[in-house]
Structure 1
Amino acid sequence: MTQKVDRIVVVGGGSAGWMVAAALVTGLKGRAAVEVVESEDIGIVGVGEATFPSIRSYNQLIGIDERDFMRATNGTYKLGIRFCDWLTVGQDYFHTFGHFGNLFGSQTLWAQHRRMGLTEPLGVQCVPTVMAMKGRFVLPSEQAQFKYAYHFDAIQYAAFLRKLAMQRGARHTQGRITEVSRRADGGVAAVQLEDGRRIEGDLFVDCSGFRSLLLGQALEEPFVDFSHWLPVDGAWACPTERVGEELAPYTQATALEGGWAWRIPLQNRTGHGHVFASRFIDPDRAREQLLARLDGKPLGEPRLLRFTTGHRERFWVHNVVAIGLSSGFLEPLESTSIYLIQDGIARLMTLLTAGRPVDENDRALFNDGAARRFARIRDFIILHYCLTRRRDSELWRHVSSMELPETLAFRMELWRRYGVLHEYDEEGFDATSWLAIHAGMEHWPQRNDPVFAEIPPERAMQALDQRRKAIAASVEHMPQHHRTLLKMLG
């Protein structure tokens, strides 16, 4: 069955719904009517405050000015994530959006760093890592090239996109959906609202969050469960007043007894949360641990979210495509929720702008690619857990001994034996990111490639020392993160 699309109905608002709508009205340029059906009675998750560098590409593609965006969402800059207590209690490392460079052509920096037996973290050889450690931030330049992301208020971001999308022609319909009408071929014909209105469409984009109103409930698409490897199934979220003038240009993720805690600095407040596995810690105890960690006055009572890690077996079925939480969820350890929304939007836009009706082969390719993307990111997140040396609680004993997905076990073995950072298709994170985790968790190959020894030790040490000193000196002259923000925002 081929599908011609003249009317697109986006079910649900929030970041996912309005990101979809803004992309559709911008990219299709009026070739299809776009309508967002949103209920004020149904809350949105709205705690997705940390992002991945790809968010900048999305904003640029739909024509959002960075200053306008930062002002509207209380945004701050993000250079990466600081992981505390993941390897052992008291040790931390950074996963930043930079590279570690090469020494002597093919002689990789990390290999020479390890060969020299240096105890300092590999991060001292990475510009954005040192910037993060010192609380500095400048925009990239020819002298310092790196990627960056943002922290922002997800609810304000949705409101910002709603205004933009409506200005460009999207229609906004408010009302609670009480019934889903089906077509003869199994697809969705219309959604019925509580007040009797009937909204018809050719294509329905399910952005209804964890409820997965269309794909999960109406079409009953099965769920692929990842909780064997990613057992966290709940999160307490609690924002606090901002304390002090300085702002860390990174997210902090601290490993705890039964999960991990996040800290995300915004201009006007700080986001705190505790992601936990209820089979290893009582939710009330997880709440207490979160409250004990707050570094400012709470701006409300902690809010509990429940979820299962995994995704729908298919993402596009008949004329329903799910984007965002309605399609699946991977825990927020690497801030990939909004990235996965973007990934779904990009796949959708590629097909809708191809100049021909969408057919079954298109949907199959969409589904296969999206499933592989979830699996690749799943493996990357598992890597953070399975390399731990902690054995002080049931959770850490479980993740350190569990059987790994074959795809992850294979690439870990290649790294361990040969120092090869294998990459599949549909990767969410490049080899540099994998290296940052391996290095941070002190997981190194069993032996060095003999070619690395062809560089005299004194020459390698001199090159490493010069690079470290040059980076440190460069960062020392950079402004503090909060001062960069003040200057940019006026």
Structure 2
Amino acid sequence: MSQKYDRIVVVGGGSAGWMTAAALATGLRGRASIEVVESEEIGIVGVGEATFPSIRQYNQIIGIDEAEFLRATNGTYKLGIRFCDWLEVGKDYFHTFGHFGNLFGSQTLWAQHRRMGLAEPLGTQCVPTVMAMKGRFALPNEQAQFKYAYHFDAVQYAAFLRRLAQQRGVRHTQGRIVDVIRRADGGVAAVQLDDGRRIEGDLFIDCSGFHSLLLGKTLAEPFVDFSHWLPVDGAWACPCERSTEEITPYTMATALEGGWAWRIPLQSRTGHGHVFSSRFIDVDRARDQLLARLDGKPVAEPRLLRFTTGHRQRFWVNNVIAIGLSSGFLEPLESTSIYLIQDGIGRLMTMLTEGRPLDEDARALFNEGSSRRFARIRDFIILHYCLTRRRDSELWRHVSSMALPETLAYRIELWRRYGVLHEYDEEGFDATSWLAIHAGMEHWPERDDPVFAEIPAERALRALLARRDGIAASVERMPLHHQLLGQVLR
């Protein structure tokens, strides 16, 4: 590691700050001093309670035991997301972290399922989707291979990682940052606290949340705005008491008049929220709609968050790298906020541990890759909106007719015309995830590949029904989610 980065300062705590600090302490193994400056002025957003399967990889690399993690964070298992009323009111579908597979060599299952005209959803052919539908959960094995994620309390997760990072040598400094001292080359030399302390560093990781204290405010890095495609700009969040013994192993996202509502089950409470666009619904009306949906007694007053979807033009400028909300934000529809934190950490750790020159080319590579990742996830989220049949409110009329990013328009056209699930580099979601949304929104290719008809219809139907029934029988033997969770926690 170059002498230039012997002192690394992480500005901000929360999930982003402490995930970064824990990864640096684990990966660098004492080759640099790491200090987290946690400012009361910055605070913690702390509502990101649903995650993406990559969180398991992060925890494993850091060396976190799953049961210990679940106990410390009020965590539950997540198989995916149930989307209600997105296609039209009264219809729902699942996007889970499983595969549909092939029936006969290259013969895709979805094509034969559609060819047979089966009325049941494609999800009956996917193990974790059936598990989610039945409220059951079992850990993957050789017979049932799939991915899963977690629901957890983000504030408790940050505290858990803080203890771990400090055990591995990370210094924790608390204080309000009142000034940022610049270097002659335009970088950051130090941050100054209100009590006069000056924290110097060679590399600064900006984890200051929406404030973007270093990259946004100090270095004035421009913002790339996605709100013309993703118009939601606010969220009400309100936790409530858990009303039933059962805990659903999935997030619920229900489309509403001016946005959508989330439901996230934890061990002792349920997180509720309403993500909305102030262009299409009044803020107070959005709050009232959230409160009307609560399925338990509120344990706190509703909290309002405001944001703009998009990202900083560059993520790494001079000696400042932004990770987390300080770098950008994509609405939480597919639970990608912590995934994007992890992605930024991974890119940084690769460069620090492989001994690459951290020059202008390295920074450009980091920035280009991060921008593409945001764009790919942006397109995937837009897909949920633009395929709707709803025309019952101004929001849904807008998203169903808006001009799409060229990258997304091309993918949709390839699927619609030829049934091809095109993939770019830096993808956040694989082809199976795109298929789940297309299928759930009943958006199918205009014509089938004639080769699918080479398999006799009777044989294809037998294979589909056998797979469906086999999955159903297997899932029926699994414990309910809350039962399996209780066993793990004990």
- TM norm structure 2: 0.99
Q: Which residue identity does 1:180 align to in structure 2?
A: V
Distance 1:356 1:453 in 2: 53
Q: Which residue of 2 aligns with 1:350?
A: 350
Alpha-carbon offset, residue 193 of structure 1: 0.5
Q: Deviation of residue 188 (structure 1)?
A: 0.3
Report the alpha carbon displacement of residue 43 of structure 1 after superposing the two structures with TM: 2.4
Q: Is the 8 A contact 2:47 2:237 kept in 1?
A: yes
Bigger Cα displacement from structure 2, 222-231 vs 38-47: 38-47
Provide the residue aligned with 1:298 in structure 2. Answer: 298
Is 1:136 the counterpart of 2:136? The answer is yes
Give the drift of 1:117: 1.0
Q: Does 1:83 align with 2:86?
A: no
- The residue number in structure 2 matching 1:43 is 43
3-state SS in 1 of match to 2:4: coil
Residue 67 of structure 1: CA displacement?
0.5
The answer to whether the 8 Å contact 2:41/2:177 transfers is: no
**Displacement of 1:40 after TM fit?**
3.2
The one-letter amino acid of 2:225's match is: D
- Separation in 2, partners of 1:219, 1:78: 38
Aligned partners of 2:268, 2:173: CA distance in 1, in Å? Answer: 31
Q: Aligned partners of 1:423 and 1:288: how far apart in 2?
A: 40
Q: Which whole-Å deviations, capped at 9, do the CAs of 1:407-438 have from their partners, x for residues lacking one?
A: 00001000000000000000000000000000
1:196 has 2:196 as partner: yes
Q: Deviations over 1:301-323 (max 9, x none)?
A: 10000000000000000000000
- State how far apart, in whole Å, the 2-side matches of 1:393 and 1:73 are: 38
- Offset at 1:354? 1.7
**Counterpart of 1:318?**
318
The match for 1:424 is 424
Cα distance in 1 for residues equivalent to 2:239 and 2:41 = 22
Map of 1:428-447 to 2, 5 A cutoff? 428-447=428-447
Contact 1:4-1:357 within 8 A present in 2 as well = no
Choose 347-356 or 34-43, whichever is displaced more.
34-43
Task: Please list the CA deviations of residues 76-124 of structure 1 after superposition, one character each: whole Å capped at 9, or x if unmatched.
Answer: 0000000000000000000000000101111000000001111110000
Whole-angstrom distance in 2 between the partners of 1:75 and 1:160? 12
Counterpart in the other structure of 1:401: 401
8 Å contact 1:206–1:214 — kept in the other structure? yes
Matches within 5 A, 1:43-442: 43-442=43-442
How far apart, in 1, do the equivalents of 2:41 and 2:69 lie? 27
Q: Identity percentage over the alignment?
A: 84
Query: Residues of 1 paired with 2:446 and 2:41: CA distance?
Result: 56
Q: Which runs of 5+ in 2 are unaligned?
A: none
The amino acid across from 1:243 in the alignment is S
Task: Return closer, same or farther for 1:3/1:400 CA change in 2, 3 Å cut-off.
Answer: farther
Q: Aligned partners of 1:227, 1:194: CA distance in 2, in Å?
A: 36
Question: Gaps (5+ residues) in structure 1?
Answer: none
SS of the counterpart of 2:367? helix
Report the TM-score, using the length of structure 1 for normalisation: 0.99
- Mark the CA change 1:118 to 1:218 in structure 2 (over 3 Å): closer, same or farther: same
**Structure 1 consecutive aligned stretches of length 4 or more whose deviation exceeds 2 Å:** 40-43
1:152-187 CA deviation, whole Å, 9 max, x = no partner? 000000000000000000000000101001111110
State how far apart, in whole Å, the 2-side matches of 1:323 and 1:115 are: 46
Partner Cα separation in structure 1 for residue 355 and residue 49 of structure 2: 36
Counterpart Cα distance in 1 of 2:235 and 2:194? 31
1:207 & 1:181 partners in 2: Cα distance? 17
TM-aligned CA deviation for residue 357 of structure 1: 3.8
Asked if the contact 1:5/1:357 (under 8 Å) is kept, the reply is no
SS in structure 1 of the partner of residue 5 of structure 2: coil
Offset at 1:42? 3.6
Inter-partner Cα distance in structure 1 for 2:356 and 2:121: 52
Deviations 1:436-474 (A, max 9, x none): 000000000000000000001111111000000000000
Tell me if structure 1 keeps the 8 A contact 2:42–2:209. no
Higher mean Cα deviation, 42-51 or 403-412? 42-51
What is the Cα-based RMSD across aligned positions, in Å?
0.8
1:301-350 per-residue CA deviation (whole Å, 9 max, x = no partner) reads 10000000000000000000000000000000000000000000000001
Query: Contact conserved, 1:11 with 1:37, CA < 8 A, in 2?
Result: yes
Q: CA offsets, 1:254-306, max 9 Å, x none?
A: 00000000000000100000000000000000000000000000001100000
